[in-house]
């Protein structure tokens, strides 16, 4: 392998594979470095990807390992054995489910086909910086030189930290995601959820499933399995968690809400990963330096809206924009020249989304969203439907559910906050 490249990309996840592919396609000699045994082996996500950004970032999405197109959306409020669920169906096929390892393997394969050199099981210790300019990477005693580097190392951005270019992560700004992949069977999934072979369900839920901690759960249908998991804010978990998070996921699996779907299912995979919960705070001091761009989770590009999560498409598109900025730099990889990448991000759906929803992180720190309101909603529905003789008025059910929990004024303030930030 050559000891020098036009560009080095750290991390073969969605951001890195996208950056390497687009750079190689533009004629750059690219080294794509991955610390795992294969691309994607160190990655974890819920299971859903939005299509449009990948169509722009990667050619030939019709050949990608798409499991099911999401045609049904469910949102549940859970209080113990009770739950209230709303379902939406009939929308366009704009997102799909997949295994991230399969998707990243496909994306990295596209990069290699375009001419990139993929090197696995290599740990990048820090950036090679000469006179304030990033000129490659250091791995052990080896230096791999390059004209420009794209850091796509993910949320555990040790390379940036060791190089003195980023602050350490704060538990207030990240969340912990834990997931099980359960083998169910294609025909069984289709029957249970009323799906065709290529149709899928995306289901998010919140309430007692997180033991009162800020966070929520997700349930996605794959080809012949489901991805079931939980996301909780790390700071709250560190301070208040009373049991292992694995036990929390297990309780979700055997709960009345999900046991009917996964009873007898075999656990195929168990994984955990940190994710940005406050993208603005997670973002490093700069996205560009002399000879360096930062993309993907390392840049804080993830959005949790409660009713859906977006990360893979953000990462892949940021890698695409990084490659675009490098290609247009004309060999000048100074910070000023590469700053167009920052402008591309700000003017893209990534920047607009992060700006529009910048207050969501603070909203989800409200403990009432995960305790009081799920209790109230399930209480109201229970009073309306659990009757022997006389039906109950909605106003009466509402008053009984609110009594001793919240003032009407407090509810109005919370509703206004949700309206403003979502």
Report pLDDT for 154. 93
Domain with 61 in it: what CATH number? Answer: 3.50.50.60
Same domain for 264 and 206: yes
CA distance to 6, 49, 200, 241, 334, per residue, from 72 (Å) = 45, 14, 7, 33, 47
Report pLDDT for 182. 96
Picking from 332, 359, 386, the residue at the C-terminal end of a domain is: 359
In a domain, 89, yes or no: no
Instruction: Kindly state the tokens that stand for 257.
Output: 């809400």
What's the structural domain count of the chain?
3
DSSP β-ladder status, 68-79 and 82-89: antiparallel
Picking from 276, 306, 327, the residue at the C-terminal end of a domain is: 276
- What burial class does residue 279 get, using C-beta atoms within 10 Å of its C-beta: 0-12 exposed, 13-18 middle, 19+ buried? buried
Pick from 332, 239, 241, 236: which is nearest to 288 by CA?
Answer: 332
Same domain for 384 and 243: no
Number of helices and strands in the chain (H, E): 17, 19
Residue in this structure with the two tokens 């994607």, named with its chain if needed? 40
In a domain, 351, yes or no: yes
Same domain for 286 and 267: no
**pLDDT tens across the length of the chain (422 residues):** 457 899 999 999 999 999 999 999 999 999 999 999 888 776 778 899 999 999 999 999 999 999 999 999 999 999 999 999 999 998 889 999 999 999 999 999 999 999 999 999 999 999 999 999 999 999 999 999 999 999 999 999 999 999 999 989 999 999 999 999 999 999 999 999 999 999 999 999 999 999 989 999 999 999 999 999 999 999 999 888 889 999 999 999 999 999 999 988 999 999 998 999 999 999 999 999 999 999 999 999 999 888 888 999 999 999 999 999 999 999 999 999 999 999 999 999 999 999 999 989 889 989 999 999 999 999 999 999 998 899 999 999 999 999 999 999 999 999 999 999 98
Same domain for 304 and 293: yes
Element (H, E) at 272: strand 266-276
In a domain, 364, yes or no: no
Same domain for 287 and 164: yes
Same domain for 176 and 166: no
Same domain for 60 and 30: yes
Decide: 224 and 189 in contact? Cβ < 8 Å. Answer: yes
**123-152 core/surface letters (b: 16 or more CB in 10 A; e: else):** ebebbbbeeeebbbbbbeeeebebbbbbbb
Report pLDDT for 40. 75
Domain with 257 in it: what CATH number? Answer: 3.30.9.90
DSSP state of 169: P
Residue in this structure with the two tokens 């992560």, named with its chain if needed? 169
Same domain for 393 and 247: no
Picking from 337, 359, 381, the residue at the C-terminal end of a domain is: 359
Report pLDDT for 2. 52
Expressed as residue numbers, the domain containing 13 is 4-65+100-170+282-359
In a domain, 242, yes or no: yes
């Amino acid at each position: 392998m050559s000891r020098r490249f036009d560009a080095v990309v750290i991390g073969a996840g969605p951001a890195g594979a996208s950056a390497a592919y687009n750079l190689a396609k533009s004629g750059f000699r690219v080294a794509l470095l991955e610390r795992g045994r294969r691309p994607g082996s160190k990655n974890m996500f819920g299971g859903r990807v939005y299509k449009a950004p990948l169509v722009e970032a990667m050619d030939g999405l019709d050949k990608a390992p798409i499991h099911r197109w999401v045609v049904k959306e469910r949102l549940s409020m859970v209080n113990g054995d009770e739950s209230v669920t709303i379902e939406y169906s009939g929308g366009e096929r704009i997102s799909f489910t997949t295994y991230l390892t399969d998707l990243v393997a496909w994306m990295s394969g596209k990069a290699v086909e375009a001419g990139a050199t993929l090197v696995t099981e290599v740990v990048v210790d820090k950036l090679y910086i000469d006179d304030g300019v990033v000129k490659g990477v250091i791995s052990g005693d080896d230096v791999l030189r390059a004209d420009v580097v794209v850091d796509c190392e993910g949320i555990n951005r040790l390379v940036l930290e060791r190089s003195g270019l980023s602050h350490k992560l704060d538990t207030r700004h990240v969340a912990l995601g834990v997931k099980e992949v359960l083998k169910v069977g294609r025909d069984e999934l289709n029957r249970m959820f009323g799906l065709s072979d290529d149709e899928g369900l995306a289901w998010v839920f919140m309430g007692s499933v997180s033991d009162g901690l800020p966070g929520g759960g997700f349930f996605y249908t794959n080809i012949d399995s489901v991805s079931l998991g939980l996301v909780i804010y790390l700071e709250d978990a560190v301070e208040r968690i009373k049991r292992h998070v694995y036990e929390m996921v297990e309780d979700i699996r055997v709960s009345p809400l999900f046991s009917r779907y996964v009873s007898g299912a075999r656990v195929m995979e168990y994984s955990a990963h940190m994710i940005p919960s406050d993208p603005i705070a997670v973002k490093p001091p700069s996205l560009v330096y002399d000879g360096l761009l930062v993309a993907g989770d390392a840049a804080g590009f993830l959005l949790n809206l409660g009713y859906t999560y977006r990360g893979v498409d953000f990462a892949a598109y940021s890698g695409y924009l990084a490659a675009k900025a490098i290609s247009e730099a004309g060999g000048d990889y100074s910070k000023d020249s590469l700053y167009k990448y920052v402008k591309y991000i700000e003017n893209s759906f990534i920047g607009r989304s992060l700006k529009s929803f910048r207050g969501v992180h603070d909203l989800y720190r409200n403990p009432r969203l995960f305790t009081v309101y799920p209790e109230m909603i399930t209480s109201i529905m229970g009073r309306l439907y659990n009757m022997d003789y006389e039906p109950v008025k909605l106003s009466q059910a509402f008053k009984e559910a609110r009594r001793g929990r919240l003032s009407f004024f407090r509810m109005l303030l919370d509703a206004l906050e949700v309206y403003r930030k979502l």
